Amino acid sequence: MNEDTQPVQPSDAPKTRLLVLVRRWWFVPILLVAAIELGLHAWQTRTVMRPEDWAAVRSTLEAQAQPSDLVVLAPSWLGPVGRMHLGNGLMTVGRVARADESRFSVAHEVGLGSARSPALAAWPVDQEQRFGSLRVRRLRNPDPRPVIDDLVAHATGAGMEVSTVRGGVPQECAWRPGPPVTGTLGFGPALPGDRFHCSRNAWVGETVNADLDYAPRRCIHAPPPGGNEVLRLRWREVRFGARLEGHHALYVEAERDRKGTPVRMAFSSDGKPLGEASHEDGQGWVSFGFDTPELAGRTGELTAEVSSPRGDRRTYCFEATTR
């Protein structure tokens, strides 16, 4: 008896039958993929976001969102469409170019379907409303750390003095209004119309910087002059809390090659050092912070000195708050 004529053992029978079935009909699931793909294509390409849904979302948020609340869009590619429909009143620069989420007690997340913002994944959902395919979720920050004073908001001629200091001699940077200046890819952050003009075409002022992840960050552009020269920023009146917290980075193309020298920023108040932060290329948008218990509840001046061994392409930008 050769192998071909051996009887099938009862225990092997189902396996053999399955094998025969697979050998005969193997092409069916493969060809089904063609139909499934066509169906998926039709499903995925239908329009799901209607203008009336966006209008309803806008009305809802305008009624519910407080100025101190965060409004975010998910997934992130929804940003331009969401900002177009929701407008500047809801999509403020403080929200879209925020330093982080910690300062917000409440967030309103506008998501397409089940899409969520990764930064808010741990925030409990208080409420969810549906507007067609869009969902508005009200989220509560489990660990909010409210801001007492925002140093970026004081980056004006009225709120701040700026100078460059060489050999102990300060040279004032003049606050002048004017038109903004921009460029194209590689230009760096836009020069705001109103800014401090320093020597060698350097400038200081509030802008929106693209960080190492190409995310927008509202910050004070404060490039160190390089060498022994420092850039000094002095806020006239800051309401202090128990901590001074901030974030800093360089413009993405200035730090992504990791070839620049570190940037150091030293904070002091009334001549008393509060702390130092150092930023190295490749770190991206990172946080720093110092305890300031002795200043908590007081209002006073605050000085920051920014320096770096070399000044070439040190497009440094930072934000700081008191908490």
Partner 1 sequence: MKKLFHLPPEVGWRDHLFGALMAVGVTAWLLVTADAIGFARDEGFYFRAATQYAGWFKLLVSDPSQAFERAAIDRFWGYNHEHPSLVKSLFSLSWLGLHEKWPILRGASDAFRLPAMVLSGVAVWVTYLFGARVYSRRAGVIGALLFLLTPRVFYHAHLACFDLPIVAMWTLCIYVYWRSIERGGIGWALVAGIVYGLTLETKHNAWILPAVFVPHAVLVMRNHLRGDWKNQVLRVPMSLVAMALVGPVVFWALWPWMWHDTAARLREYFDFHFNHVYYNMEFLGKNYFDAPSPRGYMPLMILATVPAITLLLCGVGVGSQVGRAVGWMRSWRAKTLVEGTRPTYPNVLFGLAALAAISPWLFTKTPIFGGTKHWMTAYPFMALFAAHGLDLALNALGASMGRLPRWAPVVAKAAVMGVVVAGPLAITSHAHPFGLASYVPIVGGTKGGATLGLNRQFWGYTSQNANEEYLEEHARKGAAVFIHDTAWDSWARMIDEGRVRPDFRGVGAPHQSDYAIVHHELHMNEVEFQMWVAFGTRAPVYVVAHDEVPVVSIYRRP
Q: Least distance (Å) from partner 1 to the CB of residue 178?
A: 11
**In 10 A of CB 47, how many CB atoms?**
6
Q: Least distance (Å) from partner 1 to the CB of residue 40?
A: 4
Stretch that binds partner 1, among 5-13, 18-26, 232-240, 298-306 (CB under 8 A): 18-26
Integer Rg of the chain from CA = 28
Stretch that binds partner 1, among 123-131, 135-143, 161-169, 186-194 (CB under 8 A): 186-194
Nearer to partner 1, 152 or 244 (CB): 152
Nearer to partner 1, 110 or 277 (CB): 110
Stretch 104-123: interaction string toward partner 1, x if CB under 8 A? --------x--x--------
Q: Which residues pair with 277 in a beta bridge?
A: 265
The number of residues that bind partner 1 (CB under 8 A) is 60
Stretch 194-233: interaction string toward partner 1, x if CB under 8 A? -------------xxxx---xxx-----------------
Nearer to partner 1, 57 or 295 (CB): 57
Q: Least distance (Å) from partner 1 to the CB of residue 47?
A: 7
Map 123-155 to HEC letters: CCEEEEEEECCEEEEEEECCCCCCCCEEHHHHC
Per rule CB under 8 A, is residue 190 in the interface with partner 1?
A: yes
Pull the structure tokens for residue 300: 């006073």
What distance in Å separates the CA atoms of residue 232 and residue 163, rounded to the nearest whole number? 5
Closest CA to 70 of 31, 42, 41, 99: 99
Q: Least distance (Å) from partner 1 to the CB of residue 181?
A: 6
Per rule CB under 8 A, is residue 182 in the interface with partner 1?
A: yes
For partner 1, which residue of 5, 41, 167, 168 counts as binding (CB under 8 A)?
41
Cis geometry, peptide bond prior to residue 75 (ω within 30 degrees of 0)? yes
Per rule CB under 8 A, is residue 259 in the interface with partner 1?
A: no
Per rule CB under 8 A, is residue 55 in the interface with partner 1?
A: no
Stretch that binds partner 1, among 37-45, 62-70, 138-146, 162-170 (CB under 8 A): 37-45
Q: Are 321 and 181 in contact (CB under 8 A)?
A: no
DSSP per-residue string spanning 284-315? -SEEEEEE-GGGTT-EEEEEEEEE-S--TT--
Closest CA to 59 of 70, 51, 68, 47: 51
Instruction: At 187, give phi and psi (nearest 5°).
Output: -70, -35
Name the burial class of residue 186, with classes exposed (0-12), middle (13-18) and buried (19+) by CB atoms within 10 angstroms of its CB: exposed
Stretch that binds partner 1, among 35-43, 159-167, 231-239, 288-296 (CB under 8 A): 35-43
DSSP secondary structure code for residue 168 in this structure? T
Name the burial class of residue 136, with classes exposed (0-12), middle (13-18) and buried (19+) by CB atoms within 10 angstroms of its CB: buried
Stretch that binds partner 1, among 136-144, 169-177, 190-198, 295-303 (CB under 8 A): 190-198
For partner 1, which residue of 33, 63, 158, 169 counts as binding (CB under 8 A)?
33
What distance in Å separates the CA atoms of residue 262 and residue 250, rounded to the nearest whole number? 10
Residues in the site for partner 1, rule: CB under 8 A? 24-27, 30-31, 33-35, 37-38, 40-42, 44-45, 47-49, 75, 77, 79-81, 83-84, 86-88, 91-93, 96-97, 112, 115, 179-185, 187-192, 207-210, 214-216, 251-252, 256-257
